[in-house]
Amino acid sequence: MIGTLADLLRQFELERLEVNLFRGASRDIGSPQVFGGQVLGQALTAAYATVPGDRHVHSLHSYFLRRGDFDRPIVYQVDRSRDGHSFSSRRVIAIQNGEQIFTFSASFHLAEPGLDHQSTMPQVPGPESLPDWSRPSAEVALRLPEKMRRFLVRERPFELRPVDPVDYIDPKPSPPLQHIWLRTAGALPDDPRLHRCLLAYISDFNLLGTATRPHATDFSSENLTMASIDHAMWFHRDFRIDDWLLYSMDSPSASGARGFARGSLYDRSGRLVASTAQEGLVRVRT
């Protein structure tokens, strides 16, 4: 296990301050504020700590309210909304500097049999035939503006292999679609809760960017502001995040300084394991 993955796992070891109160540490990953996926994953971890062990998250909905400061801890307050016969509901508020920065609700379900169908996985090249794009090459990195280089060149806890990588130096308009193979950069314990929390973490990466592809967006521009507004996930089937998953994303709409994107996650065998949806701020100042 590489150091960045081990450090990421430590971020999900929240300190329990009270029965329903937890504290988590943040990391600077090169973005101007706390990475939204980190807050999402930690909130899910806090909720899981209050749920019976035989139930797993099947859906979550969240809103990003304020920028998080990665130099300060984040406190997660869990509300045990309901524990029913087969479902549990939880609400989580993330607090920093005395203010809410994130709200979250999730539902957990006791596994049971039922009807089964799914959409078909897109036909794309497998991960073995694609280059690792977790970080740009040294040649490309030298040509990147400092703002982008700080974010892109860091060692990451995930391997990312896009089918059609974005050209950060000279972007061209392209359809609002992208497919990325991803997995953790090392093996993980057999803990379904951990795998779902880590998928929540990485699901916020690249999703909103799908809405910018038709516009050949210059990500290094000081006139571009992008931020997640909300994020929703549905977990359909068990999976392992330390084995390859295909993240298939599309953006059906962008308007009013907001972009909307949705995603489907498939395992190597073609099973649909999770779905995502997100709206985010995409503001271009002229």
Catalytic residue among 96, 105, 248, 278: 278
Contact 71, 96 (CB under 8 A): no
Mean pLDDT over each residue of the chain, to the nearest integer? 92
Q: Catalytic: 123?
A: no
Domain residue spans in the chain? 3-110+131-284
Which single residue is written with the structure tokens 């607090």?
A: 95
Residue from 228, 248, 251, 275 carrying the catalytic annotation:
228
Tens-place pLDDT, residues 43-96: 999 999 999 999 999 999 999 999 999 899 999 999 999 999 999 999 999 999
Bridge partners of residue 75, in order along the sequence: 23, 95
Give pTM, 2 decimals. Answer: 0.93
- Could you say which of 26, 178, 204, 275 is catalytic? 204
* Residue, of 148 and 109, whose pLDDT is higher: 109
Q: Catalytic site residue 248?
A: no
Rounded CA-CA distance 65/54 in Å is 32
Instruction: Please report which confidence band the pLDDT of residue 167 belongs to, taking 50, 70 and 90 as the band edges.
Output: confident
**Does the annotation mark 204 as catalytic?**
yes
Right CATH for 3-110+131-284 from 3.30.930.10, 2.40.160.210, 2.115.10.20, 2.60.40.3500: 2.40.160.210
